[in-house]
Amino acid sequence: MTTVPVGRSVAVKVPATTANLGPGFDTLGLALSLYDELVFTTRAQPGATIEVHGVGAGEVPTDSSSLVIRAAAHTFAHYGVEMPGLDVVAHNGIPHGRGLGSSGAAIVAGIMAAKGLLEGIVEIDAEGLLARATELEGHPDNVAPALFGGLTIAWMTPEGPRHKKLIVHRGVSPFVAVPRESVMSTALARSLQPESVPHEDAIFNVSRSALLIAALIQSPELLLAATEDKLHQSYRASAMPETDALIQVLRAHGLAAVVSGAGPSILVLGSDPAQRLVAADLIEKSSTTAWDCLLLAVDFKGATVVPHSTEAVA
């Protein structure tokens, strides 16, 4: 069986993502300028050891049970190459359980590491990357923007997941408010939704999703109307009451505020940078608990993997 040489090392960088964006449930996603950065180095000893810095240090698995390592192993197995032993150093910036795509980022990190380590042995194209990530994540709305950056539309076909990347209008200014204490399980969030919705609600969301694409790539002044939703946020509101209350305050002040992914973080899609400062001020005045306010940009590159020199300066 083909093997990867001992001592091969790659550096991986993966952006945070925000999915749904209001009406685009399980379809739309946006990459953000907040990152997990990891270095993977092959070793002779089997298994894996992860040194975690930043988010998740002392909390997440640091052996082969890690989602990052499982994603790498899944990719090696799919392409029929023996999984090498790995030493990993992770510097994590993406909050966990807050609706910013941390699990998708971990999956993408492992897959991109496998891609880099398999350079010259197996070539993995964009379609293969998205397919492997979706197999593990279950749906492509977070992993597509994490892989490819920008605004992505993702959908499923009988042949597998597909995506279209779009470039966001330069006036769109993302703002994310992250609660310091509360977390949200994606599985719990999904369990709160009904199996079916009224016909008029479905039509409502189709119209807003179409409008949202236009607002994000061409007409940011339409973002408030374009981020209205009747498919998922109201059903999940009971599980994150302060998130819901703050979104209502923000929207009442003309800001395009939505739940980020499964929550409980809040995403504001500003039509100009100044709106982010207004949002931060409103949250400080209106919240009863601590929130971290992040003034972010759209990440246009997506995940990257490059050779890493083990002799590089730390």
Binding-site positions for ATP = 95-105
| Both tokens assigned to 111 | 């897959």
Residues 219/211/186/96 CA torsion (nearest 10 deg): 0
Interior CA angle at 168 toward 214 and 139, to 5°? 85
Judge contact between 127 and 13, C-beta under 8 A.
no
Judge contact between 110 and 75, C-beta under 8 A.
yes
φ and ψ of 228, to 5 deg: -70, 145
Q: Is 116 helix (H, G, I), strand (E, B) or coil?
A: helix
| Beta strand 48-54 pairing with 28-43 | unpaired
Buried b (16+ CB within 10 A) or exposed e, 221-257: ebbbebbbbbbbbebbbebbebbbebbebbbeeebbb
Binding-site members are 95-105
- The β-bridge partners of 51 are 89
- Which amino acid, one-letter code, is at 205? N
Nearest CA-CA partner of 302 in 14, 95, 68: 14
Judge contact between 215 and 230, C-beta under 8 A.
no
Query: How many other CB atoms are there within 10 angstroms of residue 214's CB atom?
Result: 13
Dihedral sign, Cα of residue 51, residue 32, residue 74, residue 185: positive
